[in-house]
Amino acid sequence: MEKVLVTGATGFLGKYLTEQLLADGYEVLALGRNKAAGEVLERMGATFCPGDFTDKEACAPYFKEAEYVIHAGALSTVWGAWEDFYNTNVAGTRTVCELCLEHGVKRMVYISSPSIYSGKEHRFDIKENEYDKNNKLNFYIKSKILSEEVIREFDQKGLDTVTLRPRGLIGIGDTSLIPRILNANGKIGIPLFHGGENYVDITCVENVAYAASLGLKAPGVKGEVFNITNGEPTQFKVILEQFLEAIEEEPKYLKLPFGLAYGVASFIETIYRVFRKKGEPMLTRYTVCTLAFSQTLDITKAKEKLGYTPKITLGEGIKQYGIWWKEHHGSEAV
């Protein structure tokens, strides 16, 4: 049985990657820092490998065992110190690549981010090469652009790599996207621009796990990058109302002009940066751009070269989430 090491295995996506890989007949080495989540993965059938992927010496024995690696571990948030993003997402990815190359890993699938496409404009059917390498909207974006440069560097050194950019992950256990929306809806209201008619692409987390598994052995894709979505671009307000209906909550909107919201976000970011305030700003420029502008991705390449077809539709994913949410009364327990 072939072994796949998954970094970030105790995170939201990591659990679904583990489940998919086990179903596909792999032995899974689940690398992560959360012991409680690691115990859940072990009950699923994985081998929990406690550790931090940025610690090369401690993680080396795990990589020595692995034939394939899915590098899903990352600091993924809209706000934070550059040093933290760099150490985890850039230097940490370099460490993972070094370990893969040193121990003869057959292929590494890297989970990157389509946040690198973000900006102050509507964008449709974005292809993988259509991004600004100098995008400075936030430190997370900067770190992901640099981490992809690390991937390309090691691919040229002989490491077989495949990079995925999954857009807007949703699913049971989500601790980011939907909880943020529900929090805003329960307080000041969900910021709404252009009447919510802008189009967005989101992805059921099960589909991302499926795409990553396909990426392990797809032929002729060394060094390639793939957009991953559900392939169902939908107006922002429509998706919101579907989610809120599924959990039986009434939508509450905060209608804002883009220029004002962007200016306020810039001011708040400056205050946080100058005074080194802890926590995440109530509003960031990245959040405003994400909510205000259409962004849809072209997944033709993934379909043609990976054989990717979404397993779960957006409607199914929303329905499943709604059932789970109501059963757990908003609990984050999975």
Q: Could you report the per-residue pLDDT of 53-64, keeping only the tens digit for each?
A: 999 999 999 999
Torsion angle in degrees (nearest 10) through CA of 280, 291, 137, 133: 140
Please check whether residue 105 lies inside any domain of the structure: yes
pLDDT at 333: 39
Please check whether residue 237 lies inside any domain of the structure: no
Each residue's pLDDT tens digit, 289-325: 999 999 999 999 999 999 999 999 999 999 999 898 8
Consecutive H or E run containing 153 = helix 139-156
Look at residue 330 and tell me whether its pLDDT is greater than 70.
no
Q: What is the per-residue DSSP string for 135-152?
A: --S-HHHHHHHHHHHHHH
Within 10 angstroms of residue 138's Cβ, the number of other Cβ atoms is 22
pLDDT at 332: 45
Please check whether residue 86 lies inside any domain of the structure: yes
Tell me the average pLDDT across 253-280: 93
At 112, list the tokens.
């990157």
Nearest in space to 11 (alpha carbons), one of 98, 96, 92, 76: 76
Outline where 24-74 has alpha helix (H). 35-44, 56-65
Within 10 angstroms of residue 122's Cβ, the number of other Cβ atoms is 13
Please check whether residue 76 lies inside any domain of the structure: yes
Q: Report the mean per-residue pLDDT for the chain.
A: 94
Please check whether residue 174 lies inside any domain of the structure: no
250 burial type by CB count under 10 A (0-12 exposed, 13-18 middle, 19+ buried): exposed
Please check whether residue 123 lies inside any domain of the structure: yes
The parent domain of residue 14 ranges over 3-167+205-229+299-308
Point out the least confidently predicted range of 3-12, 28-37, 178-187: 178-187
Please check whether residue 116 lies inside any domain of the structure: yes
Confidence (pTM): 0.95
Return the axis-axis angle of helices 92-102 and 56-65, rounded to nearest 10°: 40
Point out the least confidently predicted range of 7-21, 40-54, 136-150, 175-189: 175-189
The Cα 102–Cα 35 span in angstroms is 27
Tell me the average pLDDT across 117-121: 96
Point out the least confidently predicted range of 34-38, 131-135, 197-201, 323-327: 323-327
**How many domains does the chain contain in total?**
1
pLDDT at 329: 61
What residues contact 244, with CB distance under 8 A and at least 6 apart? 185, 250, 251
Look at residue 207 and tell me whether its pLDDT is greater than 90.
yes
Please check whether residue 262 lies inside any domain of the structure: no
The Cα 31–Cα 62 span in angstroms is 8
Return the axis-axis angle of helices 236-246 and 177-186, rounded to nearest 10°: 80
At 277, list the tokens.
């305030």
Q: Residue 28 is part of a domain; what is its CATH number? A: 3.40.50.720
Tell me the average pLDDT across 188-200: 92
